[in-house]
Amino acid sequence: MTGNKLDIAIAGAGIGGLAAAALLAADGHNVVVFDQFAKPLPVGSGLVIQPVGQNVLAQIGALESAVTSGSRITRMLGHEADNGRRVLDVWYNRKAGQFFGLAIHRAALFGAIHDAALRAGAQIVPDAQVTAASSGLLTLAGGRQEGPFDLIVDASGASSPLSPLKARPLPYGAIWGTVDWPDTTTLQPDMLTQVYRRADRMIGAMPIGTGGMGTTKQAAIFWSLRRDAYESWQAAGLDAWKDEARALWPDIAPFLDQVTDPAQMTMARYSHGTLHRPYGDRLAIIGDAAHRASPQLGQGANMALLDALALREALRRAEGMAALKLYAKARSWHVRSYQAMSWAFTPQYQSDSRILPILRDRVLFPLAMVPPMPRFLTRLVRGDMLPPLGRLR
């Protein structure tokens, strides 16, 4: 460790920002997190923390709480609605082992990381919307300035005002909602299950534990939707949507029966892009502010956690601009590889193409079941296909 204690500002109290706050404050740095909400809150439904992300949670002391609130996923399974043919089948362990996906409600994950950041000594400033940064100074909405800081960490997400990233909008997104896990369902409680019709329809259900509230098990449900179709979906009404979804996948019925208001389903729109240089003068950019992709590989939150860890490790080994360059180099290959894989996989599961789903079903999936491809896919999903921190570890 270099021994220099820095004054660090973090823009954004999301998963990446709070993880960075916990890691850096635990190293003795003075860390202040600025968030635009009056009270920092999570946004969204469920997500999966892969084993590489779980390692980061363990380092900040948040893993035990997250595992208690979440649900262990051992398999991801998807099939075609028309013929029942498998088109996705990934196990975390072909035999009994230590790896699993941690499916969890964002609120529960947020709570675990938020508490870890406070325990480490980070200060969280609410109702403080960051609008600009320059030479270690933060500008907040209304013109107030904070600083100067030795380092500013941009963890403010896809709408970051600090990041120069120009991401390409993807044609498809999804609506997400949270319901109780039905007692009557035949779906397995340790499996993320999805059903497709070609690539223009996708519906899924994922157990996400209790969400940290009570003992009732919950599920995240999602439905693929063109990014410009949300208003049309609302106008058509819930009954039309439920009828279509049940026709594609009858097993989803007890989940959909709990959706009585369109407001229970939140639209998520996706984009794709990567910063070639995720740093600047006294500035490090992490998470969605630095790289964005579709959620097909389930890596979004994990990438933010790994960015936070890489930044901590880089600051232990170097100072100033050298540390920021080391951070970027450490994450470069891992980020770019997963971005490329996401770019290749996404159109097979979310697009208007008629050719790609046939290629997926008749060629790519059968090949994926031939050794050693199952092991490759397992490591791809687990997040450790490549060393997540490059040569830092």
In SS3 terms, 118-177 reads as: HHHCCEEECCCCEEEEECCEEEECCCCEECCCCEEEECCHHHCCCCCCCCEECCEEEEEE
Q: How far is CA 243 from CA 58, 100, 172, 237, 239, in A?
A: 43, 34, 21, 10, 6
Which CATH code of 3.90.79.10, 3.50.50.60, 1.10.287.40, 3.40.50.300 fits the domain covering 7-168+271-392? Answer: 3.50.50.60
b/e burial code for range 94-123 (CB count within 10 A of at least 16 → b): eeeeebbbbbbbbbbbbbbbbbbbbebebe
Residues 6+ apart with CB under 8 A from 270: 169, 170, 172, 173, 227, 292, 293, 294, 295
Nearest residue to 311 via CA among 295, 294, 329, 297: 329
Where do the domains of the chain lie? 7-168+271-392
The pLDDT of residue 82? 87
The pLDDT of residue 215? 82
The pLDDT of residue 94? 61
The pLDDT of residue 29? 98
The pLDDT of residue 45? 78
pTM (2 decimals)?
0.94
Across the 393 residues of the chain, what is the mean pLDDT of every consecutive 10-residue run?
A: 84 96 98 87 80 96 96 94 91 78 94 97 95 95 94 96 95 95 94 94 95 84 96 96 96 97 94 95 97 87 97 96 97 94 92 93 92 90 88 71
